[in-house]
Amino acid sequence: MLDEIAAEIRQCRKCALCQARTHAVPGDGPPHARIMLIGEGPGQQEDLSGLPFVGPAGQLLDSLLEQAGLARADVFITNIVKCRPPGNRDPLPEEVAACRDYLNGQIAVINPRVICTLGRPALQTLIDPAASISRVHGVPREQDGLLFVPLYHPAAALHRQDLSPTLVEDMRKLQLILEKALA
């Protein structure tokens, strides 16, 4: 089922992002992961490789995951849009809407217990359109039978060094949240 969704994504022409893509990036991870991480959209390295979070933000994500006691193999990683927005701009509402069925399909098939959103666009798409990342990061929220944990995007710490301790602290919180939620 996940493979079928991925095959559809690779052929998708529902929005203009398909025009400039090298590869669509459906997502990667175990098909029945208990934790999903959902970012914003592929960057340059992801567009070139077809895999999520393999560029600089991905390398930082790996070390952050480690601090929460997690490895890549424990999580399914995807994005709210599956094709790279030009210049890494935020995805437009119509692009997010065009891609939404793919994400909903992936969530339904994987059926995770916990979804971590990475960054503001994923937070506002999946949890609360009015939420502010600086207020709600690290605060879990039960919604639709799932536990959502909004986190800063790892790229935020690449741009703003002062956010690094906050991301590390949120990973410690995430570890505790997961211990309870997955017990």
For ligand URA, which is the closer residue by CB, 53 or 102? Answer: 53
Q: Which of residues 120-159 bind ligand URA (CB under 6 A)?
A: 155
| Binding region for ligand URA (CB under 6 A) out of 9-17, 40-48, 99-107, 127-135 | 40-48
d(CA 101, CA 110): 14
* Least distance CB 41 / ligand URA (angstroms): 6
Q: Is 46 in the site for ligand URA (CB under 6 A)?
A: yes
Q: Is 17 in the site for ligand URA (CB under 6 A)?
A: no
Taking CB under 6 A as the criterion, the residue among 26, 41, 85, 112 binding ligand URA is 41
In the complex, which residues of this chain contact ligand URA (CB under 6 A)? 39-43, 46, 52-53, 55, 57-58, 79, 155
